[in-house]
Amino acid sequence: MAKEFFDDDLMPAPAAGPDAAAGDAPATSVHSQKKRELPEQVNQAVDEIERLRQRQENLERRKQELVDQRRRIEAFEHNRREMLDKLGRSAVLVVREGEQASRMAALCREVGALFSQLHQEMESFFPERWSEEEYDARLTQALAQVEAAGSEYRRAMDRINALGWSRGGGKAGDEGSSLGEGLPRERRGPPATFTEWLVAGLAFTLPVILVLGALALLVVLLGKPV
């Protein structure tokens, strides 16, 4: 019987079974890996967004603080310059007003004493006591005294007006202007300056003095013997 010859290399390989096919496939698929990794990546992204949001809020808050600080610095520098300017000018003006007020006070004392003296002289006249023989001479003398008193009064008032100081003038600061400035005289209230008080007093008393003088003269004339 002929010996059969078998060549192993020519023999077909055995068919692979189901177990062999499963063993050759990847242990983990891309799909499974994505399903497992994506939730963690999403959480990481959310955490990163939250960190960025907090950082943005901190930066916005810091920005507002810097803006406020810059505004306060600008306000400080502006107000400081303004106050330095006002204080510098007002210091000079206040000292000047004080010196002028001192001169005005001394002048007022001097003029007040003069007016008191003139007032006493005007009250010393008693025309009703003058006799007929001395009447003309006494009348001429009294008239000259009254005219001299008027001249002294005008000179004193000119000295006060020349000093240029008035109560409530408010030259020491920008906000010190008189409240009555620019208003009509009848709307300003009582007189504010020494001159105005004197003029007002003279305006009230002068008609009374003239009337009394006229009455006294009329009494004297009527008392003369015919």
Give residue limits of the domains in the chain: 51-175+189-223
Q: Quick one: CA torsion of 174, 180, 183, 185, rounded to 10 degrees?
A: -140
Distance CA 107, CA 122 (A): 22
CA-based R_g, the chain, Å? 57
pLDDT attached to residue 54: 93
pLDDT band at 7 (very low <50, low <70, confident <90, very high): very low
Residue, of 54 and 26, whose pLDDT is higher: 54
Closest by Cα among 85, 82, 93, 87 to 172: 93
Assigned token pair, 165: 């100081």
pLDDT band at 208 (very low <50, low <70, confident <90, very high): low
pLDDT attached to residue 50: 93
User: Do the Cβ atoms of 165 and 104 come closer than 8 Å?
Assistant: yes
Q: Spell 33-50 as b/e; 16+ CB within 10 A means b.
A: eeeeeeeeeeeeeeeeee
Say yes or no to pLDDT of 143 above 70.
yes
| Segment among 5-9, 90-94, 176-180 with least mean pLDDT | 176-180
Structure confidence by residue, pLDDT tens digits, 84-140:
999 999 999 999 888 888 888 898 899 999 999 999 988 888 888 888 888 889 899
pLDDT attached to residue 70: 94
> At CA 112, angle to CA 106 and CA 115, rounded to 5?
145
Which phi and psi (to 5°) does residue 15 adopt?
Answer: -65, 140
pLDDT attached to residue 179: 32
Say yes or no to pLDDT of 76 above 70.
yes
